[in-house]
A = this chain, B = another copy of it.
Amino acid sequence: MPVFHYPADSQTNGTAISYIPVSSQSHPQESGGPSSSPTRQPRGHATDPDCNDLDHEALPTKMDEDEDEDEEEEEEEGWEDEESKRQKRLEQNRKAAHESRQRKKIKYQQLSEALEALRAESLQLSQQSQSMREQLAATRPTRHSQERARLEEENQRLRQALLLALQGLAEDEEEEPIEEEREGGQGEGHSALREEEESKEGNTSVTRAPMLE
């Protein structure tokens, strides 16, 4: 029951939160009446997950002083004032603490969902990366290099054939020296010139008609 609820203040603002002073009796010990506390609203159990505190650091911090002992009983010239000051401080700190907690909580959950999002992103990124990798692997050696090798080889052969043909021409003789290691070369040598298509997928050769005659 002692705890009261903050007036629905979201983190967005915080102004005008009337913090009910605790009426803390301060000083050595408030004690006094067990329930000397006035002005307290019952807290309706809001179950507000707060989640903060995350502390760290710790250092001794000594503070061992006992000087201003006011023993005699005629001091109240400055005390009241002092006390009221203290009350003010406390209240402000109360408020500040609350806000700080709110901030921390928000930060925490943002961080948490950022991580969530990032995890998802990372996952999808990674699988698309994988897919690309495969694609690349499939694309390069197969289509590119393989076909290229074929073309180059054919090229080589043609060059060879041409060379021979030219030699033949130059010698000005007859016969057909170009036998072609591949399939019987002569009669056109077209065999070597076959050319399987290259379309989208490595489908079988379509035997595109060679455009010569």
Contact = CB atoms under 8 A, between A and B. Distances in A.
A206 interface: no
Interface residues of A, number: 104
A29 B21 CA distance: 11
A31 interface: yes
Contact of A29 (B30, B133, B175): B30
Q: How many copies does the complex hold?
A: 2
Interface string A26-49: 111111111111101111111101
Contacts of A190: 211-212
Interface string A177-196: 11101000000111111010
A96 interface: no
Contact of A159 (B64, B121, B193): B193
Contacts of A129: 125, 128-129, 132
A162 B148 contact: no
B51 A60 contact: yes
Given A24-B28, A190-B211, 7 more contacts: A32-B34, A32-B37, A56-B60, A111-B112, A132-B132, A139-B140, A159-B212
Contacts of A143: 144
Contact of A133 (B22, B49, B132): B132
Name which of A52, A143, A162, A175 has the most chain B CB atoms within 10 A of its CB.
Answer: A162
Nearest to A156: B211
A162 B181 contact: yes
11 contacts: A24-B28, A29-B42, A29-B43, A32-B33, A34-B38, A46-B64, A155-B195, A165-B165, A169-B174, A169-B178, A192-B211
B58 A51 contact: yes
A187 to B, nearest CB: 10
